[in-house]
A = this chain, B = another copy of it.
Amino acid sequence: MTASELISFARGAPSLDIIDVEGLKAAADAALTKDPGAALGYGTAVGYLPLRRHLAEQHGVAENQVLVTNGSMQADAFLFDRLVTPGAPVVVERPTYDRTLLGLRQRDADVRPVSLQVDGIDTDELAELLAGGLRPTFAHVIPNFQNPAGYTLSLAKRKRLLELAEQYDFVIFEDDPYVKIRFAGESLPTMLELDEGRGRVVYASSFSKTVAPGTRVGYLVGPAALIDDIRVAATNTYISPNMLAQAIVHQFSIGGRFDAAVAGVNAALAERVRVLCDSLSEHLPEAKFTAPEGGYFMWVELAGDVDVAKLLPAAEERGVTFVKGTDFLLDGGQSTMRVAYSGVRADQIPEGVARLAAALGALRG
């Protein structure tokens, strides 16, 4: 590793070494051998039918409740186009994914952030807001290994959120791309499952983290009528999503390599988290953080006197980068940062953290 090589804690993307390239070659060959007509034809806006069926089975829903899209952000965009009314309130977690904030603000939603705790969104705070008259169209929640915080919503809070959604008649948008990237602790049921078909939950996930981002395959699960509305919008936007990539992802998913690939990703990420926590304790003892049980991200809080807007350029001068916590908030968070460990090798992490510590030291003079 040369001093000039940038170590990026900014990239929320897998490094190439945790992508099963050989498995994808075999899946591409299988897709084009077994089903060339559908993999290469126009298809329809619901997505590649065998993949849609596979997802419906996986989530225990009817096929007409599933729509496969060009990545899950495209799914979000379609959903926001349907559900967001300018000026109407929408609940988000504080902090939350910056692109979600952007998508909501571009559609003139009245964005209402609710505090995120280590066990997920503060349902008491939300209940108080609802009791006080807030009537959101939906609440956007990233339940597992949240982006940017890495926190996971507890089972009790999942149930509480569903109760509140029922009581105050709002939709829960369960945005769950990291669900399978769990390397510690126990899996929790999705709110989609807990809802038991009452139609309170729209669920989105993706193969970006389990297969590869470049396949751009995401999906939505929701009430059939909403999914059908989105199907019409998708047809008018692009006729159909990428049939070839979806057929490849389908072959990869049903082949023997999927589980092994995910296990490989998770083992690598678990090691990175361990090294990251150790390095932070060693070089940046003031840093406060909770080791995530999965996903790509860790939220790090520095002492209150640190301004990350000044820390970031100083860090980049020293060959390390991250994303400022303020990017994930409408206000506050000046001393926080999102540290992504998905795009770095474990052996880069100690040096990256040492560079961060050096930048912080220089800033304090």
Contacts and interface: CB of A to CB of B under 8 A. Distances in A.
Interface stretch (A13-21, A112-120, A254-262): A13-21
Question: A-side binding surface: helix, strand, loop or mixed?
Answer: helix
A41 B25 contact: no
B237 A77 contact: yes
A214 B40 contact: yes
A32 B24 contact: yes
Contact of A213 (B19, B41, B70): B41
Interface in A1-47: 13, 16, 19, 21, 24-25, 28-29, 32-33, 36-43
Interface string A31-68: 01100111111110000000000000000000000000
User: For this complex, into which size category does the number of interface residues on chain A fall?
Assistant: 35 or more
Nearest to A235: B99
A352 interface: no
- Closest 4 interchain pairs by CB? A214-B243, A40-B212, A28-B28, A40-B214
Contacts of A28: 25, 28-29, 32, 248
A242 B215 contact: yes
**Copies of this subunit:** 2
Contacts of A102: 236
Contacts of A71: 238-240
A35 to B, nearest CB: 10
B236 A103 contact: yes
Given A42-B213, A43-B214, A236 B32 contact: no
